[in-house]
Amino acid sequence: MKLSVIFEEKPQRWGLRGDPYFWDHLKELAEDMDILSPEELEQWIKDEYLTLSGKPLTDEYMDFAVIEEFAHGGMSSGGVSNEWWMEEGIPLLRSRLEEL
């Protein structure tokens, strides 16, 4: 089983416009990855965010990053929300992984 299975069902709401693109980016990478532990999953997401944005994904400031490759128009275009990923995205993915 590949890690991408936990990305199959998309959330109903997002933080910023770039969040669904980051989700899809992670899903695409996960298609070639085996299942990870929940801790490894969280670290992998944070590492990928840092690689793409140059900023850490942390709940310290509830900041966001603008990732140009995810910018497709609109006021928050390309914005990826730290708050959404730390409070909703990562916990959702961790819980899906734990259910496997």
- Measured in whole angstroms, the distance separating CA 6 from the mean position of its chain's CA atoms is 12
What is residue 52's predicted lDDT score, i.e. its pLDDT? 93
Sign of CA dihedral 67, 52, 38, 36: positive
Number of helices followed by number of strands (H, E) in the chain: 4, 2
Query: Taking Cα atoms as reference points, which of 10, 57, 5, 53 lies closest to residue 33?
Result: 5
Contact (Cβ atoms closer than 8 angstroms) between residue 69 and residue 20: no
Q: 64 forms bridges with which residues in the sheet?
A: 81
What is residue 61's predicted lDDT score, i.e. its pLDDT? 66
Structure-token pair, residue 20: 């669904």
Per-residue pLDDT of the chain (100 residues), as tens digits, is 899 999 999 999 999 888 999 999 999 999 999 999 999 999 999 999 999 999 899 877 668 887 878 877 666 678 888 999 999 999 999 999 999 8
What is residue 74's predicted lDDT score, i.e. its pLDDT? 65
